[in-house]
Chain A
Amino acid sequence: MTERTKAGGSTIIRYLDVVKRYGAFTALRGVSLDVHAGEVVCLIGPSGSGKSTLLRCTNGLETIDGGDIEFEGTRLARDDRGLRAMRQRMGMVFQNFELFPHLTALQNVAEGPRTVLRMPLDEAERRALAMLDKVGLADKAPNYPSALSGGQQQRVAIARALAMQPDVMLFDEPTSALDPETIGEVLNVMKALAEEGMTMVVVTHEMTFARRVGDWIAVFDAGRIVEQGPPRQIFDAPTTERTRDFLGHLGWTG
């Protein structure tokens, strides 16, 4: 039973046998996966299994050694300019937020539109304020990151990525560096985004989120996808030993 509810939409990202090596260590051993428009694809698995690596290859922060990545039907660019153009249509949220400390929340969110999209300042700031409002932090616009909690910083980071109006949002363990109390506020923002129909690829350890919000789950282990399918399959009736082991270790009782 591997029905894929949103497979009807166009393919936003296609990973074809992606291989990535770091010296003698192979982080990705031929990973194939499709991401369709409007889908929330969650990548789960033990640490070091290659999930974050795949994400970083998606927007060219890392270059692949084998296979292909297609974004909106075209192969991932290799030249600087082409790559930058593609990155403008992808939003990325990092585990460590990586807000720019010398800019206020508003300036952080406006930075992309201003510098990359070359929007005039007032227009960029208007859009930034709207994005901050969307994540519930309009009142924190004039604050510097040092004055914000982890959860607030991550929400600003999401707003910063959204301000570029991307076609897909890439989340690299967005809640792993957060205190338990603030994880909820970030996951809620992500859930709302998903409900609006944003295409999302999420590397996460938050299994409840993956089960409730995910449309398609890919289980990673040692550089390969050992199983992929809808949440109901992965979490309730996994078909592979590895998946069962992994969920068992996490104390997943469903």
Chain B
Amino acid sequence: MNFDFGVIADNGRFLGYGVGITVVLSLVSGLTSLVLGLVVALARLYGPRGLRSLIVLYVDSMRAIPVLVVLVWTFFALPIVAGVTMSPFAAALIGLTVHLAAYAAEIVRAGIESVRPGQTRAALALGMSRAQILRRIVLPQAIVRMLPAFGSLLSVTIKDTAIASVIAVPELMRQSETVAGQSFQPIEVFTFAMLLYFLMLYPVTRGVDRVYRRVAHLGRS
């Protein structure tokens, strides 16, 4: 068994580009899914009844359909239906956002519902309006409680970007595949890719743990 890790050095920039795309795709889709998830959760909690059932359908559907299927459909089928052309990156961004927002919405909903009703009563007793209560009392506490779950959702997001390789998004997984295929050294290349992913993911989980431990008391009522 002969391992030659020089192939990594030779393709450093190519692989580095992949890392860049992974990071960008993770952060952007993380952000968009967070925003969409927040909107969906608030609509579910405070919106009209008809909307609520639709939202439940959406959330439960995303629990049933694999990310791979969502991404492939978005890239290949959506253009046919909508008559648009989109780049692999755009398709991945849309697919990931729609898929992850369902999970984000559940996290937001659970966070808000976990704030004690006594807090709302105390705020009402002071004469606050419902909107003020949500903004100043419930959401701040809910956000603290949501942190661990969002941490693991970020971790999932980064891992899911690797699936975008299937629709040829030039993120790290895809770049690694290309280099592995061209160099016939899949073991070295994929092992290196594993190292890179680990270095990206491990701090996320540990970091969130740390932050949460420090601020947990702000959410405990």
* Residues of A in contact with B (beta carbons under 8 Å apart): 59, 61, 80, 84-85, 87-88, 90-92, 94, 96, 98-102, 111-112, 115-116, 144, 146, 157, 160-161, 164
Contact = CB atoms under 8 A, between A and B. Distances in A.
Interface stretch (B5-13, B58-66, B126-134): B126-134
Given A94-B118, A144-B217, 5 more contacts: A98-B122, A100-B221, A102-B141, A102-B144, A160-B126
Contacts of B130: 80
B220 interface: yes
B124 A146 contact: no
Contacts of B136: 111, 115
B127 A85 contact: yes
B153 interface: no
B121 interface: yes
Contacts of A90: 125
Given A100-B221, A101-B220, A146-B220, A92 B125 contact: yes
A101 B219 CA distance: 6
Nearest to B143: A102
Contacts of A164: 126-127
A58 B221 CA distance: 25
B127 A112 contact: yes
Contacts, number: 74
Top 10 closest pairs, chain A to chain B, by CB = A98-B122, A92-B125, A88-B127, A87-B127, A146-B217, A102-B218, A112-B126, A102-B140, A116-B127, A101-B221
B119 interface: yes
Given A98-B118, A116-B132, A111 B126 contact: yes
Nearest to B122: A98
Main SS at interface, chain B: helix
Main SS at interface, chain A: mixed
Contacts of A112: 126-128
B168 interface: no
Interface string B172-193: 0000000000000000000000
Contacts of B217: 101, 144, 146
B137 interface: yes
Contacts of A85: 127
Interface string B204-221: 000000000000011111
Contacts of A94: 118, 121-122, 125
A98 B221 contact: yes
A146 B219 CA distance: 10
A157 B118 CA distance: 13
A61 B120 CA distance: 10
B140 to A, nearest CB: 5
Interface string B54-84: 0000000000000000000000000000000
A193 B129 CA distance: 28
A115 B131 CA distance: 11
Interface in B76-115: none
B9 to A, nearest CB: 49
Given A87-B125, A98-B122, A115 B132 contact: yes
A92 B118 CA distance: 12
A197 B116 CA distance: 34
A147 to B, nearest CB: 8
A88 B217 CA distance: 29
A139 B138 CA distance: 27
B124 A87 contact: yes
Contacts of B219: 101-102
Contacts of A80: 129-130
A170 to B, nearest CB: 8
Contacts of A91: 125
A91 B122 CA distance: 10
Contacts of B119: 98, 100
A119 to B, nearest CB: 13
29 contacts: A59-B124, A61-B125, A80-B129, A80-B130, A87-B127, A88-B126, A91-B125, A92-B122, A94-B122, A96-B118, A98-B118, A98-B119, A98-B221, A100-B141, A101-B220, A101-B221, A102-B141, A102-B144, A102-B218, A102-B219, A111-B126, A112-B126, A116-B127, A116-B128, A144-B217, A146-B217, A146-B220, A160-B126, A164-B126
